[in-house]
Amino acid sequence: MPGPGPHMMYALTSGQALMSVSNGRFSPHHCLAYAVNAFFGPDLGSFSEWLTSTLGLGRALGSAVEDYIHHPFYYVLILGFPLSILYSWASGFVLRKGLLDSVSGVPLTRRQCFFLVSAGSLSHFFLDHLFECVFEASDMVNLPQSTRTKLERHSL
C-alpha cells in the first residue's frame, strides 16, 4: 500500500481534473470532501487497529473494526451515511464562516457527500491495489519461461 502522500496527490490531481472538465460544477468544495475520503477514509480501520494494539485496550474490537472498515464497499455501507451527514453539516459550517469559497454558495447535500465518500473509497483502494503486485517464489513456477526471464532481469 502506498503512503498518505500518493493518496493525497492522486485525489487532488483527479479532483483538479474533474473541476476543469466539469466547467466548475465539481467545485473545490467537492474536491476537498473527495480528497479527505481518498486520503484518510478507509484507513480509519487500520488506524483503529493500531490504536487499540498500542493502548492495549480492546484489541479484538480494533482488529474486527479494521476487517470491516478497510474494505472498498463495507466502508461505504457502514460509514457512508454517518460521514455524509457530518460532511454536509461541515460544508454548511465552512460556508457560513467564509473558510471555503463556493461558486454557488450552497453547501453540499447529504446525497452529494455520500457519492463523494464512495468515490474517495474507491479511489483509495484503486491505489492500494495498484501497488500490491507482489510475486512469491512459488508463483514463478506457473509463469511462462519468457515472463520468468524478464522478471528475473528486473528484480533486485
The three-state DSSP-derived secondary structure of 85-113 is HHHHHHHHHHHHHCCCCCCCCCCCCHHHH
pLDDT of 124 strictly over 80: yes
pLDDT of 148 strictly over 90: no
Q: Indicate the SS3 state at residue 132.
A: coil
pLDDT digits (tens, 9 = 90+) for 5-25: 888 888 899 989 998 999 878
